[in-house]
Structure formats: structure tokens, C-alpha cells
Structure 1
Amino acid sequence: MGLDIYLYTRDQEQANNVHDKASEAFYEREDWASESERKAALEALPPYATYEKVASEKYPDHLFGRRYLRSSYNGSGFNRAVPDMVGKEHDLSWIFEPVRGGSDEYSFELTEGSLAALEQAKARALQVAAELGGCDPLRTMTESGMVGPQDHLWSQPPTEEQVLDWYRSEKAKNGERDDTWGEGYSNGKGTVLGFKKGLEVLAVTLGRDILGRLSAVIVYRSEALDSYIQSAEIVAEFCDEALSLIKADGSCFMHWSG
């Protein structure tokens, strides 16, 4: 789950409105003469037009595209990671604030009246890319007491030697995988950040996790900075795409899901 932002053309939105009305009428109807009649009516519903995947011109293999943006809810999502790194709440919501205003709608039309706001959003996206380029990409993560089957937990706080033995046993079980944090994992005894690379840990202190439990809080330097810079630059491309659709068709539609 997470935040998904889509860009639909005017024609796609109109087709989907037709689909939605026909679907609503279909599911409200109860007086079908037979099951075959109901199935035939279902198959005859106007098709739903999904958004068109348009790759970034600069980074065509990136998850973000000119008509699709995403931020997962976990710590690696754009909306969590970028504010941590730049020290400001400059996430996707902030970038698109000029476009959305105070609206909490999940779908809204962009027209010629939206051109200036889209230019402002594009400028904000490029500002975030510049901020990321000049920052020290610091992140934090919390590690609380693990849960699991009793025979998988520490029976009492381990010694340093026991912790090293545990890590070595995990490495032996998992071979020589070149894990980074993105491919790490947790079990009843702790979290493994990698066997060859891991994280560049800068500081550790005692704090609380999201559930309020005592937790080790680790400060580390993210190695994914370039990907977030690319994400911000593609957000600017997303704005350009909306501008071009408005100029071509008179309008387009932005869907905000999450």
C-alpha cells in the first residue's frame, strides 16, 4: 500500500465515467431474466481505460514515469525518505500543493487554469532534486525487541560473543549473498542488514519505535540518494506531461490514491 498518483487523458477519463455509470447500473439491477442474460450484460459493459505507461525521458527504467508516481508507506517511500534527507517536509504532497490547493479529492481535472500551478509544482520538484543533490542523505531506523517462536528468541540479553555467533550462523545459512539493507531481513533474534555490504552506520541511541516500545535508533547514510534525485526530476517530467496534455486536449485528470 502507499500513495499512487496517476495522470489520465481527457478521453480516458470520459471513457471511465461511461464505464462507472454503466457498472453502477449493472450492479443495482436485480431483475435479470436469467444468469446468462446477466453474464452477457456484464461482458457488454464499456471497458475501463487504464492510465497509459509513459516512461521518463531521462530515466526510462525508473519506477516513476511521466504519468505515474508512487510513494510506499514504509521508510523507503519518497514521502518518508526525502524529508528525512533534506530536513524539510518536501514530499509529493508539498510539491503538488499549488495544484491541489486545500482539496482532499482523489480525482480532479486540470485545465488551462492549472498551468501556472503546474509550473510551480515543477519548480518545487526541481528544488527538491537540488536539495537532495546537496544534502548528506542521513536516515534513521528503529530496532525493537523481536517477536516470534520462543525457541527463536534470546532467552536473556546476549553477550557480544553470542551476537557475533548469531550473525555468523545467519551468514552461513544464507551463503554469500550480496545483501544491502533493501534485501535485509529480521527474525526472532534481530535484523540482518547485509552480509557483504550492509549499512554505513553513523550513530546509535536509545529511543522508541512507532509502537512506543524501547528501541535502538540507528543513524545511517543512505546509498539510494541518486534514485530519489531521479524521482524528483521525473516528478518535474510528470508536470510537463500534464502541461502538454492540457495544451493538446484542453484538460487532463490527476488521480491521487492513498
Structure 2
Amino acid sequence: MGLDVYLYTRQQAEANGRYEEAVNAFYEREDWPSEERDKARAALPAYESRTNVPSEKHPDHLFNRRYLRSSYNGSGFDAAVPEMVGADHGLYWIFEPVRLDDDYEIELTEADIPGLETAKARALTVADELRACDPLRTCEASAFFGSQEHMWSDLPTEEQVLAWYREERERNSERDDFDGGYSNAKGMVFGFKKGMEVLAATVGKNIIGQPAAILVFRLGDEAKQSYVASAEITAEFCDEAIALIRKDGSCSMHWSG
């Protein structure tokens, strides 16, 4: 599950409004004769999907001028960026000038252009903060998955941990260029060649309150630049919204997640 932000044209938003009204009316009725119900379902108006408009600066990026995404795992924009810049400067903060916390369908009009310009400035501020920052992150190293027989029977020794890692490396020898991470019942593996630059470790709690090793690591430059690009595309998203407002009088921003 993740946080998705979509931008729809006025025509798309109006079409989807008609779609939602028709679907709600369809399901509110409970006494449909079967043949009539099938005909009514077939006659429902179409839902207008969003249009992807690639970024001008970063056309191959996941973000684009009408779509932004932040996963709720540790790699998501709203999780990673606040850690790196030391402030809660995710998508929620960037778009504060044009939405409330509980706004998920937002019609943007001429009156919202100043707020969108402020949001654009915030996005560019985040890009600058990311460029200047030491990209420090944290992660927990704990075992969640796997059957009981594959878990440590007791707290392992250093020798056992090293032997376990070597077994993982041997078992995944075909993934020598692996530069991501995975977890199993005994722990987490961060790579077989590159891994990651770990700077500190301590004992803390994981998401369910169990003891876990908490690692401080430095993000690689390629990953850092991807977040810079995300922030810059978020600024383009604001420009796109302003252009649609000036063309059609309004557009719609939809938040999910």
C-alpha cells in the first residue's frame, strides 16, 4: 500500500464524478430483475483513467507531471526524505498550502494558484535540501518471516551470524550483483558485493515493539539523486496543475493511501 497523488483534467474529473454517481445509484438499488441489472451495469459511464505526462527533466522516473508516489515502506519519499533532511518535508508538507489532512479529492481553481506556487517552491526547497544533505537513513534488522525451524533457537554468536551470511551468499550465488535487500527468519541481507555503508548500530524496537538492531547507514549517491529528481518532478506537478487551471478553469488532485 502506498500514497498515490493523481492529477486529473477538468473533463476527466467531471466524467469520474458522473461515473461515481451512477455506480452509487446502481448499487443502492437492491430490487433489480437480473436482466435489467445486467443492462444497467453495461450502461454505466466509463471511468476516466489518469494521463501520464512524463517529466521534462526526468522522463524515465516513476514520478511524472500527473502522478506522484510514496510507498509506506522505508524507501518511500515521505519516509526517506524526512530522515535525510532532518525535517518532515514529505509530500504532505509540500502540498499543505492547497489541502487539509483529510482532503482526498481537491478541486483546484484559479484561487489555488498561489498555493500551488508555494507548493512548487517547497518542492524545490526539498530538492536543494536533499542535494546539500548527508543522506543518513535508519533501518531495523529483525527477523519477521519464515517457519519456526529456520529461526535461531537462541541468540546467535558472531561466528554463527557470519556462517549464516556465507550460506545466504552461497545459496544466492547467481545474484552476485544483488544491490538491494531481503529478509528471512534469521535476519536481513543487504547485498553480496556493494551492500550499504553502515555507520552505527544500536538496540531498539521494531514496528511491533520487539527488540531489533537499528542501523544508521548512508544512502548511495544514485539513490539520493533519485529523491532529488522526485522533488523536482513534484515542482513540475504543480506547474502542470497551474497550466490545466489556466486552460480549463480547474483540475482535480486525488490522494489515495
Both proteins in one fold, TM over 0.5: yes
**Equivalent in the alignment of 1:173:** 171
| TM-score, normalised via structure 1 length | 0.94
CA deviation vs aligned residue, 1:6-55 (integer Å, no higher than 9, x gap): 1111111111111111112222223434x232212111111111111111
CA distance in structure 2 between the partners assigned to 1:170 and 1:228 by the alignment: 30
> 1:185 and 2:182 equivalent?
yes
CA distance in structure 1 between the partners assigned to 2:240 and 2:130 by the alignment: 23
Of residues 121, 124, 127, the one that matches 2:125 is 127
Of residues 200, 203, 207, the one that matches 1:206 is 203
CA deviation vs aligned residue, 1:95-142 (integer Å, no higher than 9, x gap): 001111x35221011111011110000000000000000000000011
Three-state SS of the structure 2 residue aligned to 1:40 is helix
| TM-score, normalised via structure 2 length | 0.94
Q: Which consecutive unaligned segments of at least 5 residues does structure 2 have?
A: none
The one-letter amino acid of 2:237's match is F
CA distance in structure 2 between the partners assigned to 1:29 and 1:213 by the alignment: 49
**Equivalent in the alignment of 2:83:** 84
Partners of 1:176 and 1:195 within 8 A in 2: no
**Equivalent in the alignment of 1:4:** 4
Give the alignment of 1:86-125 within 5 angstroms: 86-100=85-99, 102=100, 104-125=102-123
CA distance in structure 2 between the partners assigned to 1:249 and 1:135 by the alignment: 39
* Worse overlay, 192-201 or 225-234: 192-201
Q: Which consecutive unaligned segments of at least 5 residues does structure 1 have?
A: none
- Percentage of matched positions with identical amino acids: 62
The one-letter amino acid of 1:73's match is Y
CA distance in structure 2 between the partners assigned to 1:154 and 1:6 by the alignment: 45
Partners of 1:10 and 1:249 within 8 A in 2: yes
CA distance in structure 2 between the partners assigned to 1:147 and 1:245 by the alignment: 47
**Equivalent in the alignment of 1:21:** 21
The one-letter amino acid of 1:195's match is F
Change (3 A) 1:91 1:235: same
**Equivalent in the alignment of 1:144:** 142
CA distance in structure 2 between the partners assigned to 1:209 and 1:123 by the alignment: 35
Three-state SS of the structure 1 residue aligned to 2:55 is coil
Partners of 1:176 and 1:196 within 8 A in 2: no
1:145 CA displacement: 4.9
1:175 CA displacement: 1.1
CA distance in structure 1 between the partners assigned to 2:248 and 2:16 by the alignment: 17
Three-state SS of the structure 2 residue aligned to 1:47 is coil
* Worse overlay, 49-58 or 142-151: 142-151
* Worse overlay, 71-80 or 38-47: 38-47
Q: What is the number of residues matched between the two proteins?
A: 254
**Equivalent in the alignment of 2:251:** 252
Partners of 2:203 and 2:212 within 8 A in 1: yes
CA distance in structure 2 between the partners assigned to 1:30 and 1:157 by the alignment: 59
**Equivalent in the alignment of 2:59:** 60
* Worse overlay, 207-216 or 242-251: 207-216
**Equivalent in the alignment of 1:160:** 158
CA distance in structure 1 between the partners assigned to 2:30 and 2:159 by the alignment: 70
CA distance in structure 1 between the partners assigned to 2:74 and 2:45 by the alignment: 40
**Equivalent in the alignment of 2:48:** 49
Partners of 2:55 and 2:61 within 8 A in 1: yes
Three-state SS of the structure 1 residue aligned to 2:195 is coil
CA deviation vs aligned residue, 1:176-216 (integer Å, no higher than 9, x gap): 411123xx211122111111111111111122222222211
Give the alignment of 1:233-252 within 5 angstroms: 233-252=232-251
Change (3 A) 1:148 1:31: closer
RMSD across aligned positions (CA): 1.4
1:156 CA displacement: 2.3
